[in-house]
Amino acid sequence: MLMRRKKNILLAILPITFGLMLLFCNSFKVQAQGLSFSISPPLVEIMIKPGKTVTQTYKIANSGDTVIATFTIAQLTETGIKEDPNFAVENWIACATNDFTFGRPFLFAAGTERQLALRINPPPNTQEQDYYRALVLTTSPNPPPGSSMTNVSQQLAAPLIITVTSSGMVNKSAAITRFDVPTILDSFDPLKMDIEVQNTSKTYFRPVGKITLTGLIGKGEYPIYPHIYLAGQKKKLFLESQAFSSQLKHTLELPGLFLGKYQAEVDFALDESKVHVKQKKIFYALPWKAVVITLLLITFIFIIIRGKKTKIKG
């Protein structure tokens, strides 16, 4: 009887609890804002002569909620956007859209798309070099009156790489500063290869090429991911197959089962130019761990057998 009463009480409480949970979830959904934006094109590369003018148009879409937004031009470095309150954008990089002013907030309505045009016109005396900048969209929530939302902001950046050159030609160069391959590899260990490249020129490039691994019974080719190397930048090469991996540790990592002599070669061009960078390394794969264990085991067995024979003779 007592068990039946407890069961009835539990059945009466469950709908109330479920209803309160639904009310809480619905209340949370009403207050939460989804921030979702896109900038097209996501990356702009411009080569321009001093005294000339180029206009670049961006499309910015807001597929989330209405927000307060601001456009700015920021410095782009090897590690990303550089926050520098003293940075002043070049006066020849300007907003050509009347609706926008850099640094001035505006209301970005939900589900709308805006267009922003940049006018780039370096004067004749502009220093000829790369200028690494980024169009940055900063947003903050536009909550209704009385909302308890926290002031969460979001940033979206589109890199802008400008090469100012009067000749239209740029000299690109690079060096392989690190090529780590084990001289002796155990046949059953994975192959881990690390290759680091430095941009030794004053302009950016992309490595376009492959890594080739040649052994006694086969050959493998692995295309290099053409990510951008800024002027003077040094970083590791990665493969196209690793382009969107969140755990990048080695340039090339292959599961073990190697035997004999191997040649590893990296060969890439700087963009689509005729300038090539290449280097080779030789390594050998032997089952040396298995050999050592086998020799130790044979030695151990031999000692035991010899000890037994000595006891018998004694």
CATH of the domain at 286: 2.60.40.10
Q: Do 98 and 160 share a domain, yes or no?
A: yes
Q: Do 257 and 158 share a domain, yes or no?
A: no
Cα(169)–Cα(82) distance, integer angstroms: 29
Q: Do 133 and 199 share a domain, yes or no?
A: no
Q: Do 209 and 138 share a domain, yes or no?
A: no
Cα(27)–Cα(80) distance, integer angstroms: 37
Closest CA to 162 of 273, 53, 274, 83: 53
Q: Which residues constitute the domain of residue 200?
A: 174-291
Cα(140)–Cα(144) distance, integer angstroms: 13
Q: In this predicted structure, what is the pLDDT of residue 313?
A: 64
Q: Per the domain annotation, does 311 fall within a domain? A: no
Q: Do 263 and 157 share a domain, yes or no?
A: no
75 beta partners: 82, 133
Q: Do 264 and 184 share a domain, yes or no?
A: yes
Determine phi and psi for 68, rounding to 5 degrees: -95, 125
Helices and strands of the chain, counted as H and E runs:
2, 19
Q: In this predicted structure, what is the pLDDT of residue 20?
A: 31
Q: Do 140 and 236 share a domain, yes or no?
A: no
- Final residue belonging to a domain, choices 164, 187, 208: 164
Buried b vs exposed e over 221-231: b needs ≥16 C-beta within 10 Å? Answer: ebebebebbbb
* Residues with pLDDT less than 50, the chain: 1-34
Q: Per the domain annotation, does 14 fall within a domain? A: no
Element at 115 (helix H, strand E)? strand 113-120
Q: Do 160 and 178 share a domain, yes or no?
A: no
Domain count, the chain: 2
State how beta strands 184-186 and 276-286 pair.
parallel
Q: Do 92 and 193 share a domain, yes or no?
A: no
Structure tokens at 270: 């700087």
Q: Per the domain annotation, does 231 fall within a domain? A: yes
Q: Per the domain annotation, does 103 fall within a domain? A: yes
Closest CA to 92 of 50, 128, 132, 44: 50
Structure tokens at 27: 């209340």
Closest CA to 271 of 221, 223, 229, 243: 229
Q: Do 227 and 105 share a domain, yes or no?
A: no
186 beta partners: 286
Q: In this predicted structure, what is the pLDDT of residue 151?
A: 60
Q: Per the domain annotation, does 273 fall within a domain? A: yes
Q: Do 61 and 120 share a domain, yes or no?
A: yes
Cα(207)–Cα(198) distance, integer angstroms: 11
Q: Do 127 and 189 share a domain, yes or no?
A: no
Secondary structure of residue 119 in the 3-state scheme: strand
Q: Per the domain annotation, does 117 fall within a domain? A: yes
pLDDT per residue as tens digits for the range 280-290: 999 999 987 87
Tell the residue number behind the tokens 């970005």, with chain if given. Answer: 108
Closest CA to 108 of 43, 31, 36: 36
Are the C-beta atoms of residues 175 and 197 closer than 8 Å to each other? yes
By CB neighbour count within 10 A (0-12 exposed, 13-18 middle, 19+ buried), where does 307 fall? exposed
Q: Is the pTM of this model over 0.85?
A: no
- Final residue belonging to a domain, choices 133, 164, 195: 164
Are the C-beta atoms of residues 285 and 260 closer than 8 Å to each other? yes
Q: In this predicted structure, what is the pLDDT of residue 19?
A: 38
Q: Per the domain annotation, does 305 fall within a domain? A: no
